[in-house]
Amino acid sequence: MIKRLFCNKMVLFGGSIVMIFVVVAICCPLLSPYDPYQVNLCERLQPPDKEHLCGTDNIGRDVLSRIIYGTRVSLAIGVIATLISMIFGLFFGVISGYFGGYIDKIVLCLIDIMLAFPGLLLAIGIAVAIGPGLLTLFMALSIVGWAGFARMVRGVVIAAKEQAYVEAARAIGVSDMGIIIRHILPNCLSMVIVLSTLKIGSFILGEAALSFLGLGAQPPTPTWGSMVSTGFVFLRSAPWISIIPGLTIAVVVIGFNLFGDGLRDTFDPKLREKTD
Amino acid sequence: MLLQAKHLKKYFQIQQGLFSRHLQVFAVDDVSFNIKKGETLGLVGESGCGKSTTVRLILRLLEPTGGSVFFDEQDILAMNYKRLNQMRARMQMVFQDPFGSLNPRMNIGSIIAEPLAIHKIAMGKEKAEKVSHLLEMVGLSPTCQNRYPHEFSGGQRQRIGIARALATSPELLVLDEPVSSLDVSVAAQIINLLMDLQEQFQLSYLFISHDLRMVKQLSHKIAVMYLGRIVELCPVDRLYSNPLHPYTRALLSAIPSLDPLINKTRLILKGDVPSPINPPPGCSFHPRCPQVKPECREIEPELIESFDGHSVACHCRG
């Protein structure tokens, strides 16, 4: 399996991008050339040169340093929001898929309601209601994201429930809990991993959008979305302030999506046959 | 009497069409039989006649619509889930599909150890020893514990399934077409293994098959099912020497013979099995029966046992 993962070009390419950003997030202080909070009004709106590789913003902060520090916030939000929505999604998806009947109908109804809202609009609504901040970002994105997880997990559980080995486990005398933990969840795992990597990308994008609108992390915390937003005013005179963080967002999201697609191709035996 | 099934019924509800016409599938309709300790009951019939549903009702993997099941004088259907799960240690099942019935993400050791852990039969080192012993018992090497199901052939997997079923030292083993997906020589090995195990542990079997030769090998009694009902139930030698029901006769005449010189007259039935959604009135076999009488179209024949223990549900009997 691991060998096959390394043979998949999408996994390799996407994975390397993701790895680079993870390393950057961990080693921020070592990598960033300046203090991201250091205001230097003499050097404001400098175009990229030897001193400042990505230029400076409207109050003279180094754009590259802010991007490097922004990696922490973006990845943290992507990963934590994904984890929260994964836990809720798994819980609701499993009980709905496994037990069926009225529980299934109620959960499915809830999922449908959540999915009927345009995701970002709902997140904006939630963020406005509880006030901007990092915690708001987690909550808004997770509330929007769990329904997708739950729906997918439910489908996988319904398929897994009908497998002969689940019936065999019932015949042995395994309890419902035991069947879910030992027999059903391990067989959903590959799907969950794949969906999670894809979700991280979309959550990073969502974080950027909320921060752009001023509903996410508050200044002076460096986040990519808020950097795009501050540079927006200077798009004609100093385009690097917006474009470089914007490109970074694009690269990270592409990295996670490629990684997720590649994982799906290697985990899904049916797709694997086609690619072989 | 180890197992008694009385008037078991299972009707599946299905919906048809937009304005949900509720229909019933009569999968199992009034099935009764007994199994004594150390005895094998063979259950035969063509695909879709309700054999697999019947055994799932007995193990309560499906809830019956009606009837009752007694295992060792205890009512299985009246038990709560806790009690039922304890009871399941005494009645185990081997499944038809050796590829689907083993969890692909568990290794052989933990597959076989699972019932041991659940029924708290063995722990720790004792458990590992027991697993090795079980693997040896079914003719596999104890060294293969760390391998996964996909590394084994169909016959080996079925042995693993049997080892798992034997782990709790059950009294009744339900075998749901255990050899139908295996080739003939492997199937024969499995049948021999099952016969050895029965002799060794005084096991009772409920053996399902559509292959009459396999059933003859293993069974003491045979029940022939047609469209959710038992049409004939008798000791194995009587069934093969003196079949009474026309359906049984047709089945027996379909067994291929090894001797090309024997000129067998085959009884070929007309038409197809009727749909269990809308079974014909009277005897469900009457549209295909070569000896059909007027009353067959109206009155449902009951399964009546004669003095020699030969039960048959047919108006033309005797």
Helices B184-201 + B154-166 axis angle, to 10: 20
Q: What is the pLDDT, as a whole number, of residue A260? A: 87
Q: Is B305 exposed, middle or buried (0-12, 13-18, 19+ CB in 10 A)?
A: exposed
CB-based contacts of A202, cutoff 8 Å, min separation 6: A145, A253
Q: A2 or B59, which is more confident?
A: B59
Q: What is the pLDDT, as a whole number, of residue A269? A: 54
Helices B108-118 + B154-166 axis angle, to 10: 20
Residue B174 token pair: 């339900």
**CA neighbor of B219 nearest in space, from B201, B206, B229:** B206
Q: Test B92 with A170 for CB contact under 8 angstroms.
A: no
The 10s digit of each residue's pLDDT in B104-125 is 888 899 999 999 999 988 888 8
Q: What is the pLDDT, as a whole number, of residue A273? A: 46
Instruction: Tell me the pLDDT of chain B averaged across its residues.
Output: 88
Of the residues A172, A189, A267, the best mutation for testing chain B's interface (the one with the most B CB atoms within 10 Å of its CB) is: A172
- B215 has a pLDDT exceeding 80: yes
Q: What is the pLDDT, as a whole number, of residue B3? A: 92
Sign of CA dihedral B84, B85, B91, B95: positive
3-state class (DSSP) for residue A43: helix
Record the pTM.
0.81
The predicted model gives B259-263 an average pLDDT of: 73
CB distance from A181 to chain B under 8 Å? Answer: no
Residue A109 and residue A49 in contact, taking contact as beta carbons nearer than 8 Å? no
Chain A nearest-CA distance from B85, in A, is: 4
- B210 has a pLDDT exceeding 60: yes
Q: Test A171 with B93 for CB contact under 8 angstroms.
A: yes
The predicted model gives A115-120 an average pLDDT of: 86
Percentages helix, strand, coil for chain B, rounded to the nearest 5?
Answer: 35, 25, 40
Range from A8-12, A162-166, A214-218, B127-131 carrying the lowest mean pLDDT? A214-218
The 10s digit of each residue's pLDDT in B9-61 is 999 888 776 666 778 888 898 899 999 999 999 999 888 888 889 999 999 99
- A29 has a pLDDT exceeding 60: yes
- A61 has a pLDDT exceeding 70: yes
- B301 has a pLDDT exceeding 60: yes
Residue B144 token pair: 């293969």
Q: What is the pLDDT, as a whole number, of residue A276? A: 43
Q: What is the pLDDT, as a whole number, of residue B262? A: 72
Q: What is the pLDDT, as a whole number, of residue A270? A: 52
Q: What percent of chain A has pLDDT over 90?
A: 32
Cα(B86)–Cα(A69) distance, integer angstroms = 58
Cα(A77)–Cα(B205) distance, integer angstroms = 58
The predicted model gives B65-74 an average pLDDT of: 91
CB distance from A47 to chain B under 8 Å? Answer: no
The 10s digit of each residue's pLDDT in A157-181 is 998 888 889 999 999 989 899 999 9
Q: A53 or B5, which is more confident?
A: B5
**Structural domains in chain B plus CATH codes:** 3-90+170-312 (3.40.50.300)
CB-based contacts of A131, cutoff 8 Å, min separation 6: none
- A274 has a pLDDT exceeding 50: no
Residue of A nearest to B84 (CA): A173
**Structural domains in chain A plus CATH codes:** 65-270 (1.10.3720.10)
Instruction: Tell me the pLDDT of chain A averaged across its residues.
Output: 87
Q: What percent of chain A has pLDDT over 70?
A: 96
The 10s digit of each residue's pLDDT in A183-211 is 998 888 888 888 888 888 888 888 888 88
Please give the ipTM for the structure prediction: 0.85
Chain A nearest-CA distance from B112, in A, is: 10
Of the residues A1, A99, A163, A167, the best mutation for testing chain B's interface (the one with the most B CB atoms within 10 Å of its CB) is: A167
Q: B181 or B156, which is more confident?
A: B156
The 10s digit of each residue's pLDDT in A134-156 is 888 888 889 888 998 999 999 99
Cα(B191)–Cα(B189) distance, integer angstroms = 5
- A224 has a pLDDT exceeding 80: yes
Chain B residues lying within 8 Å of A162, measured CB to CB: none
Q: Is B280 exposed, middle or buried (0-12, 13-18, 19+ CB in 10 A)?
A: middle
Q: What is the pLDDT, as a whole number, of residue B112? A: 93
Q: What is the pLDDT, as a whole number, of residue A37? A: 86
Q: What is the pLDDT, as a whole number, of residue A275? A: 47
Q: What percent of chain B has pLDDT over 70?
A: 97
